[in-house]
């Protein structure tokens, strides 16, 4: 298939500009420290680097060469900044911007030595991509989702393209930079570069989207104060547990826990101290549950615990352990040690086809109120 290089170039440039505008649109309204802005700026500099190829013969050669390599180095430096910001890392050190100086210096110094020029500039790019890959592969960072794999694949492919370019220059197969698009094979390498930048941009946008989806899910299902499941999430857990216990004829127990005289704690030490007590109690309760047990904050100072495959005796033993643990672990608030106790209502045993999640909660709740009425810091079932 004959390759019309000027048309190909025009399409590439248009695509690259649209890509930058698309990311700007995504970042619009976000704080300037948002990783998407850094990525959009990186795409902007990529567009400038690309534009230089089209201006060959229009602007003086050294100007084109210098602007191209500065923009190229800027693209990778800004993408590194974007990836670091995504992971909440501080900006890269000043030395990461060094290729912005080294590259034009190489371009000018080695203007007559194609091999040296290409070697030093492309090795700088390789170094910059290595720094990006290092962040993406850092085992100390919390990675999740598929967007990161797209980015890893894209940067590895880009690294490969760069290495091919260096090899081609060293083998004398092609000029490093002199109206590069006049050569069909070099034009193909540029297409490969554009495709990887496009793939990386999709990957990065996907990473951002996955994270915001995760955050929305947490907001919808987590209680922000204690970090436990919220009422909706723990109710879903209970509905599933009831259905499974009915289907498989298994035991299921439910505990309803309520902090005693919590209003007094708020009134004596303030609302913030009350929040700290709630967090402390939540932590104590959670730390004493088995992996299969689930806990959620059901109301203000009320918690619901779902114990699959647990009969009344097991539930009462656990309830006593929880009660004793809360009683013996006061919360430190400044100079004060605030003691709290809990009352617990238990509903445990077999679940019949007539039982419902609401019914189990109602029974545990009624037992909990009996515990309150008969002196608090107790368990009823």
Ligand X SMILES: Nc1nc2c(ncn2[C@@H]2O[C@H](COP(=O)(O)OP(=O)(O)OP(=O)(O)O)[C@@H](O)[C@H]2O)c(=O)[nH]1
* Residues at the contact surface with ligand X, assessed by CB under 6 A: 225, 258-263, 266, 271, 274-275, 278, 300-301, 372, 376
Q: Which two tokens stand for residue 26?
A: 């995504």
Closer residue to ligand X in complex, CB, 67/259:
259
Name residue 333's beta-bridge partners: 336
CB of 32 to ligand X, least distance (A): 34
CA dist., res. 102 & res. 125, Å (int): 11
CB of 339 to ligand X, least distance (A): 14
Among 11, 165, 148, 168, residue whose Cα is nearest residue 83:
148
Greatest Cα pair distance in the chain: 94
Closer residue to ligand X in complex, CB, 262/381:
262
The strand order across the sheet containing 252-259 reads: 294-297, 302-308, 252-259, 342-347, 379-380
380 as an active site residue: the answer is no
Closer residue to ligand X in complex, CB, 37/262:
262
Among 379, 347, 360, 344, residue whose Cα is nearest residue 235:
360
Indicate which residue of 210, 213, 301, 327 is catalytic: 301
Closer residue to ligand X in complex, CB, 218/267:
267
CA dist., res. 233 & res. 91, Å (int): 37
Closer residue to ligand X in complex, CB, 149/269:
269
CB of 336 to ligand X, least distance (A): 15
CB of 29 to ligand X, least distance (A): 31
- Measure CA of the first residue to CA of the last residue in the chain; give whole Å: 81
CB of 378 to ligand X, least distance (A): 11
For residue 283, give the H/E element and its range: helix 271-287
Q: Where do the DSSP E strands lie in the chain?
A: 252-259, 294-297, 302-308, 331-333, 336-338, 342-347, 379-380
Q: Rounded to an integer, what is the distance from CA 360 to the centroid of its chain? A: 37
The residues near 247 (Cβ < 8 Å, ≥ 6 apart) are: none
Query: What is the CB neighbour count within 10 angstroms for residue 278?
Result: 24
Closer residue to ligand X in complex, CB, 329/341:
341
Residue 14: Cβ-neighbour burial (10 angstroms; 0-12, 13-18, 19+): exposed
Residue 89 is given by DSSP the state: P
Closer residue to ligand X in complex, CB, 247/336:
336
- Could you tell me the sign of the dihedral formed by the alpha carbons of 200, 206, 209, 214, in that order? negative
CB of 354 to ligand X, least distance (A): 30
- CA–CA distance from 173 to each of 115, 164, 180 (Å)? 11, 11, 12
CB of 319 to ligand X, least distance (A): 17
CA dist., res. 323 & res. 341, Å (int): 7
Catalytic residue numbers read 301
């Amino acid at each position: 298939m004959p390759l019309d290089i000027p048309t190909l170039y025009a399409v590439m440039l248009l695509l690259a500009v649209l890509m930058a505008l698309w990311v700007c649109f995504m970042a619009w309204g976000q704080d300037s420290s948002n990783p998407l802005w850094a990525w959009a700026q990186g795409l902007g500099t990529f567009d400038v680097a690309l534009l230089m190829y089209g201006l060959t013969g229009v602007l003086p050669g050294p100007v084109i060469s210098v602007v191209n390599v500065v923009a190229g180095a800027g693209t990778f430096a800004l993408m590194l900044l974007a990836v670091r910001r995504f992971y909440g890392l501080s900006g890269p050190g000043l030395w990461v911007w060094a290729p912005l100086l080294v590259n034009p210096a190489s371009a000018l110094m080695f203007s007559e030595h194609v091999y040296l020029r290409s070697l030093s500039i492309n090795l700088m790019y390789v170094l910059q991509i290595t720094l990006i890959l290092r962040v993406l592969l850092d085992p100390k960072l919390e990675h999740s989702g598929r967007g990161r794999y797209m980015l890893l694949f894209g940067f590895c492919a880009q690294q490969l393209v760069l290495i091919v370019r260096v090899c081609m220059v060293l083998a004398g197969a092609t000029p490093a930079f002199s109206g590069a698009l006049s050569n069909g094979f070099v034009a193909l390498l540029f297409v490969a570069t554009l495709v990887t930048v496009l793939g990386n941009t999709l990957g990065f946008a996907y990473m951002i989207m996955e994270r915001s989806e995760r955050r929305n899910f947490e907001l919808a299902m987590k209680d922000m104060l204690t970090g436990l499941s919220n009422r909706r999430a723990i109710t879903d857990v209970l509905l599933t547990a009831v259905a499974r216990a009915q289907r498989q004829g298994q035991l299921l127990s439910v505990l309803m826990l309520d902090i005693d005289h919590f209003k007094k704690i708020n009134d004596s030490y303030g609302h913030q101290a009350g929040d700290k007590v709630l967090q402390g109690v939540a932590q104590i309760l959670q730390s004493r549950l088995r992996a299969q047990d689930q806990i959620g904050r059901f109301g203000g100072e009320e918690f619901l615990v779902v114990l699959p495959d647990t009969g009344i005796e097991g539930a009462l033993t656990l309830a006593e352990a929880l009660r004793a643990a809360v009683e013996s672990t006061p919360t430190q608030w400044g100079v004060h040690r605030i003691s709290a106790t809990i009352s617990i209502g238990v509903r445990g045993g077999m679940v019949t086809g007539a039982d419902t999640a609401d019914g189990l909660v109602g029974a545990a709740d009624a037992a909990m109120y009996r515990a309150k009425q008969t002196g608090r810091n107790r368990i009823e079932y």
